[in-house]
Amino acid sequence: MDPDEIRRDAESPVTATRGDLEEVVETLSDAFAVEPDMKWFIRDDERRDAARRSLFAQLIHGPGFRHGRIDRPARGGAAAVWMPFEWVRPDPLPRVLLEALAMLPITGLSRAHRLVALRQAMDRQHPMDRTHAYLWFLGVAPAAQGRGVGSALLRHANARHDAAGLPAYLETSTLPNVRLYARHGYRIISERRALKSAPVTWGMWREPAQS
């Protein structure tokens, strides 16, 4: 698809239906192939690409679609997955360990502890004292990156949140994304490493604009 068409479609995104989910999975899997946090905990062998796609298939077909809202250009090429903040309440450690065990095909045995540490760090970092929208994932197909597609999806979501008086929160582990989100009203409120070997991840918060 023409990247300019993706950007134009992203100005007025649609909400993904079940029939769109395979395309959403492929787009996010490709978009996050070089994301530092994900590279850190997903297995590092010839099965890495398949593991990453399997991860997104589980997340998008499961909680992403059941509990969240997925904004996407009508013809695909990008997706923003928004979750209600109540969904991300911290789980007790035994449940986190069980989830990590189920994720062994994705992490491999040697990296399972990284996923546990990452999940616990995310839970500690996530502010839960105010109702807000949580941007779980925002990804653009590699061929369309740098063309304003992500910005278009953010502008649309910001307008929706402003109308509802709703703050928003996200995490990112890349400085270019920090700069992108800052241009759309997000500010850094936290910084963490899940372990010493982990990349830095920033938590960012946006207050709704006053009308």
- pLDDT tens for 120-179 read 899 889 999 999 999 999 999 999 999 999 999 999 999 999 999 999 999 999 999 999
Higher pLDDT, 86 or 51: 51
Helix (H) or strand (E) holding 14: strand 14-15
This prediction has a pTM of: 0.94
pLDDT at residue 90 above 70? no
Give 72's contacts (C-beta < 8 A, 6+ positions apart). 13, 14, 15, 16, 20, 23, 24, 27, 78, 79, 80
pLDDT at 92: 67
Tens-place pLDDT, residues 14-39 = 999 999 999 999 999 999 999 999 99
Q: Strands 78-84 and 14-15: what pairing?
A: unpaired
Assigned fold of 3-149: Aminopeptidase (3.40.630)
Could you report the per-residue pLDDT of 3-13, keeping only the tens digit for each?
889 999 999 99
Counting residues of the chain whose pLDDT is more than 90, the rounded percentage is: 85
What is the C-alpha to C-alpha distance for residues 161 and 133, in angstroms, rounded to an integer?
A: 8
pLDDT of residue 91: 67
Collapse the DSSP code of 206 into the 3-class scheme (helix H, G, I; strand E, B; otherwise coil) and give the result. strand
Helix (H, G, I), strand (E, B) or coil at 202: strand
As a whole number, mean pLDDT of residues 195-211 equals: 93
User: CA-to-CA distance for 54 and 26, rounded, in angstroms?
Assistant: 10
